[in-house]
Amino acid sequence: MRAGFAAEDISLSSQELPTFFPDLVKQGVKVNACSLSQLERFGEVFPGGEVGVRFNPGLGSGGTGKTNVGGPSSSFGIWYESLPKVKEIVEKYKLKVVRIHTHIGSGSDPAVWQKVSGMSLDLCREFPGVTTLNLGGGYKVGRMSYEKSTDLQVVGVPVKEAFEAFAKDTGRQLKLEIEPGTFLLANSCAVVTSVQDKVVTGTSEGHTFLKLDMGMTEVLRPSLYGSQHPLVSVSAAGTLPTTTADYVVVGHCCESGDLLTPAPDEPETISERTMGEVNIGDLIVIEGSGAYCAGMSSKNYNSFPEAPEVMKLEDGSFALIRQKQTLDQILANECDIA
């Protein structure tokens, strides 16, 4: 809300329902209960109130196992077979379910997303007061040249037809909510970093390592998921190299896993990347850093400060939107023992 969003435009689905959720609801925030206990807590505070329910539809799909948030191996949402218990709690507190939320994962398979949309519409049939269906599931974005982005027309048309069939059958025209954050923002940002060191492990199984002045403190996805990001070499003079070399690119944290070039989907396996030849002091631009990077970074690990952020405005000018963090700011919440 401090960023300018109206409270009534915010829908809250969380693994940990904050203790102050009643204050949020009173301001207009819409809460989706993500567990039976959350639904109980909501009912105790707001009997007779309007609430949303997030279900685990029993299926999931993600770009990796770590981004799959549906199915029996996921703790997200209320297991779909607990529907009778949900109805029991709803009746106990005279609640009105007005939203159904499902989410299967980030970078999900379009076919699974379409199947879950049908299952989610079936859940909407169980609650006559439902007016909104949130079909969560991040659409795949091609960061690398060989990766394909989701075709929204291919994915969306069958879902549109399913909504139309639901409306014809029930007389209820539902509002569809989707979650395209990564799809919109993934390729909107880049991290500009410099090569701080170059290390060669001189054996037949060795590598040439480039050490950067950033790492999992700015871009965690490769270390966590084995995700791939385009890496562009730029000389200190601002020119593109004319020759290439094979490198393993690593970050500045004291972790072997602080790795920018893992094998695809294998975060614990290092992989060489063929890229423009660089030396100490040259630059590496890490593209595709606009989603799940700054917001998911291991902030302040090894006491590294938050990096500054710059935005390119519509007129082509640049504006500083976040200053580099100082050591005093890192230490601000630490307390001396008297």
Query: Does 100 share its domain with 151?
Result: yes
Q: Which residue in 290, 327, 297 sits closest to 217, CA to CA?
A: 297
**Same domain flag for 94 and 139:** yes
Residue 242: per-residue pLDDT: 96
What SS3 string covers 210-243?
EEECCCCCCCCHHHHHCCCCCEEEECCCCCCCCC
Mean pLDDT within 61-89: 81
d(CA 142, CA 148): 5
Across the chain, the runs of DSSP E, i.e. the strands, are 11-13, 30-33, 50-56, 78-79, 96-106, 132-138, 175-178, 191-200, 208-212, 231-234, 244-250, 262-263, 266-270, 273-276, 283-286, 309-312, 318-322
Q: What is the pTM of this model?
A: 0.89
Q: Could you read off the pLDDT of 254-300 as tens digits, one per residue?
A: 999 999 999 999 999 999 999 999 999 999 999 999 999 999 999 99
Give the model's pLDDT for residue 115.
81
pLDDT tens digits, one per residue of 77-131: 999 999 999 999 999 999 999 999 998 766 667 777 778 888 899 999 999 999 9
Whether 214 has a pLDDT exceeding 80, the answer reads yes
Give me the number of domains the chain comprises: 2
Residues 29 and 165 in one domain: yes
Same structural domain for residues 130 and 246?
Answer: no
pLDDT at position 188: 95
Active-site residue, selected from the candidate residues 34, 124, 189, 254: 254
In the prediction, which pLDDT does 113 show? Answer: 74
Whether 21 and 80 share a structural domain: yes
The predicted structure's pLDDT at residue 71 = 75
Residue ending a domain, among 144, 162, 185, is 185
Number of residues assigned to the chain: 338
CATH number at residue 39: 3.20.20.10
**136 lies in the same domain as 22:** yes
Q: What is the domain extent for residue 73?
A: 7-185
Flag whether pLDDT at 70 surpasses 80.
no
Of 328 and 66, more confident: 328
> Are 108 and 206 in the same domain?
no
149 and 62 within one domain: yes
Which of 185, 204, 226 delimits the end of a domain? 185
Based on the fold, state whether residues 85 and 120 are members of the same structural domain. yes
The yes-or-no answer on residue 335 being catalytic is no
Q: Is residue 316 part of a domain?
A: no
Render pLDDT for 150-192 as a digit per residue (tens, 0 to 9).
888 888 898 899 999 999 999 999 999 998 888 999 999 999 9
Confidence check: pLDDT of 238 > 90: yes
Whether residue 128 is contained in a domain is answered as yes
Give the residue from 161, 185, 209 where a domain finishes. 185
Residue 250: CATH number of its domain: 2.40.37.10
**Are 32 and 151 found together in one domain?**
yes
CB 267 within 8 A of CB 224: yes
User: Which pLDDT score, from 0 to 100, does residue 65 have?
Assistant: 65
Contact in structure between 169 and 255 (CB atoms under 8 Å) = no
pLDDT at 203: 79
77 and 107 assigned to the same domain: yes
Say if 308 falls within a structural domain.
Answer: no
Percent helix, strand, coil in the chain, to 5, is 30, 25, 45
Beta partners for 322? Answer: 309
Helix ranges (DSSP H) in 127-248: 152-170, 181-185, 221-225
Does residue 209 sit in the same domain as residue 179?
no
Over the chain, what is the mean pLDDT?
93
**Domain-embedded: residue 180:** yes
Confidence of residue 69 (pLDDT cuts 50, 70, 90): low
Asked if residue 31 belongs to a domain, the reply is: yes
